[in-house]
Amino acid sequence: MFQHKKILLAIGGGIAVYRIAELARLLIKQGAHIRCVMTESACAFVTPLTFEALTGEKVHRHLFDLTLEREMGHIQLVRWADVVVIAPATANLIAKLTHGIADDLLSTMMQACDVPVLLAPAMNTSMWESAATQRNIQQLKTSGFAILAPNDGFLACGEHGSGRLPEPQNIADAILPLLMPQNLSDEHWVINAGPTEEPWDAVRLLTNRASGTLGARLAQIAAAMGARVSLIAGPRTPEFGHGIQRDNVQTAEEMLLVCEHRGRACDVFVATAAVSDFRFVDISQEKMKRGDTTQLAVSLTSNIDIVAHIAAMQERPKKVVAFAVESSNHLAFAKDKMLQKGVDAIVANDVQNMGNNHAGGWWLDHHSQSTLENSSKYEFAQQIVHKIMEIPS
Ligand SMILES: Cc1cc2nc3c(=O)[nH]c(=O)nc-3n(C[C@H](O)[C@H](O)[C@H](O)COP(=O)(O)O)c2cc1C
């Protein structure tokens, strides 16, 4: 997610500092290059050694560092970064930032900062809710700082309330949009994802191996690029990213209804869900008994083809993209499907991608055909988003 991205972690002196070590690890695992600046108070909670060991980089903490300042280090630090993350953002740092106070390395460097900044405040509830902190936060928001509001929960001080540092993955999710071009800010994307489940009796289902990961990644990337995103999610579809409006559904019929509702006149409809082609004619409310039979015939009836239905709607989305999962002749089958379903483009991929962390395939639209490189599902989704953006509206 953060391949080749340079993230400057500016660490304030709150009890949640120890959780920033986990954030640093997570960001590094996702490809980021991390440097850290710590306030003197932060160093009283966790030693800089922890962050030096995790990042393999010197931790910066002194404004009057002769080696660093020979090159105007406090300015170079923010010039190096693609994004600055202040976490935990203490009440003190929030106040200093609001009023332009520059009395240590972290606050001085922030005066020279012109890259996006995310603040993750964490503190005791009364401190968070205090008039001064709330006023400062409003002012920082107005000045263009991104603020990740703290969670509710048990706080280190033993109290319960608002002020908990969000989970490291939630902080990472909030960093992503600050690193992405906001090219989709006028668009509404509707994405369906995951498998569907068709009940047969009280406990048995007809389903498939789809994980929903690709659709959830597409939703995350489109939202990070500024789109309003609706995700219609089959069972077990994971949650990635921020600000995604999500409807959980089980059966193909439920998915159809929600897709129809959300997809009407949207800008982009992407059908990644592995929707069951069939459902049971008779559904038992009780658990069916095994009995003495050695063979059993069940009756199935076909479900509506959701993507073809959406592509044929009167208030059709501007762009409709289907997926074709095949085990052979991928391109030939995909081309037939694109025409049959009346969609603008189709992504052909192999059944082996289902439930895997990696995926590759082919992109086909009415003007072009290209290979989508085998990569992580996040990067695969990124390639698809760029292809969708290239379809003429
Ligand atoms: C045990 C302890 C825990 C603290 N936890 C927090 C905290 O979670 N959030 C906060 O804003 N301040 C907290 N403080 C207060 C800050 O450490 C204090 O305001 C300090 O001046 C912050 O310095 P800095 O903003 O330069 O890092 C805590 C203080 C102590 C002694």
pLDDT at residue 167, as a whole number = 94
364 inside domain: yes
330 three-class SS: helix
Residue 87, ligand 1, Cβ within 6 A: no
List residues with catalytic annotation: 157
**Residue 1 clears pLDDT 90, i.e. is over it:** no
Same domain, 275 and 161: no
Same domain, 33 and 67: yes
Residue 92, ligand 1, Cβ within 6 A: yes
pLDDT at residue 392, as a whole number = 86
Residue 194, ligand 1, Cβ within 6 A: no
Same domain, 163 and 201: no
Residue 14, ligand 1, Cβ within 6 A: yes
Check if the beta carbon of residue 204 is closer than 8 Å to that of residue 227.
no
CATH code, domain carrying 327: 3.40.50.10300
> Among 155, 179, 203, where does a domain finish?
179
Same domain, 233 and 377: yes
| Residue of 92, 99, 124, 165 to test ligand 1 pocket, by largest number of atoms within 8 Å of CB | 92
How far away, in angstroms, is 298 Cα from ligand 1 center? 66
pLDDT at residue 101, as a whole number = 96
**Residue 332 clears pLDDT 70, i.e. is over it:** yes
242 inside domain: yes
- Measured by CA distance, the residue closest to atom 14 of ligand 1 is 14
Q: How many domains does the chain have?
A: 2
Q: What is the pLDDT of residues 72-131, one digit of tens each?
A: 567 888 999 999 999 999 999 999 999 999 999 999 999 999 999 999 999 999 999 999
Same domain, 200 and 348: yes
Residue 97, ligand 1, Cβ within 6 A: no
β-strands 160-164, 151-154 pairing: antiparallel
327 inside domain: yes
181-190, 194-203, 355-364: range with lowest mean pLDDT: 355-364
Same domain, 28 and 150: yes
pLDDT at residue 356, as a whole number = 73
pLDDT at residue 21, as a whole number = 97
> Among 122, 151, 179, where does a domain finish?
179
321 inside domain: yes
Residue 41, ligand 1, Cβ within 6 A: yes
Same domain, 136 and 197: no
Same domain, 14 and 86: yes
Q: Please, what is the end-to-end C-alpha distance for the chain in angstroms?
A: 28
The per-residue pLDDT of the chain, averaged, comes to 93
How far away, in angstroms, is 41 Cα from ligand 1 center? 7
Determine the average pLDDT of the residues in 16-21: 96
Residue 108, ligand 1, Cβ within 6 A: no
- Measured by CA distance, the residue closest to atom 11 of ligand 1 is 90
Query: Confidence band (pLDDT; 50, 70, 90) for 185?
Result: very high
Quote the domain boundaries for residue 239.
Answer: 188-390
Same domain, 373 and 237: yes
1 inside domain: no
CATH code, domain carrying 138: 3.40.50.1950
Task: Count other Cβ atoms within 10 Å, centred on residue 26.
Answer: 17
Please tell me the pTM assigned to this model: 0.87
Length of the chain, in residues? 393
Same domain, 143 and 271: no
354 inside domain: yes
**Residue 34 clears pLDDT 80, i.e. is over it:** yes
pLDDT at residue 294, as a whole number = 87
pLDDT at residue 355, as a whole number = 67
61-65, 139-143, 293-297, 328-332: range with lowest mean pLDDT: 61-65
pLDDT above 70 covers a percentage of the chain that reads 97
Q: Which two tokens stand for residue 128?
A: 């968070």
> Among 149, 179, 209, where does a domain finish?
179
Q: What is the pLDDT of residues 164-178, one digit of tens each?
A: 999 999 999 999 999
Same domain, 365 and 285: yes
**Residue 134 clears pLDDT 70, i.e. is over it:** yes
Cα–Cα distances in Å, from 71 out to 103, 113, 227?
Answer: 19, 16, 41
- List Cβ neighbours of 176 (8 Å cut-off, separation of 6 or more): 1, 2, 220, 224, 241
How far away, in angstroms, is 128 Cα from ligand 1 center? 12
Q: How far is residue 250's CA from residue 206's CA, in Å, rounded to a whole number? A: 11
How far away, in angstroms, is 54 Cα from ligand 1 center? 23
| Residue of 41, 96, 126 to test ligand 1 pocket, by largest number of atoms within 8 Å of CB | 41
Task: Count other Cβ atoms within 10 Å, centred on residue 342.
Answer: 15
pLDDT at residue 69, as a whole number = 59
pLDDT at residue 291, as a whole number = 85
What atom of ligand 1 comes closest to residue 94's alpha carbon? Answer: 25
Determine the average pLDDT of the residues in 193-206: 96
75 inside domain: yes
Same domain, 235 and 357: yes
How far away, in angstroms, is 112 Cα from ligand 1 center? 24
Residue 15, ligand 1, Cβ within 6 A: yes
- List Cβ neighbours of 43 (8 Å cut-off, separation of 6 or more): 13, 61
Query: Confidence band (pLDDT; 50, 70, 90) for 66?
Result: low
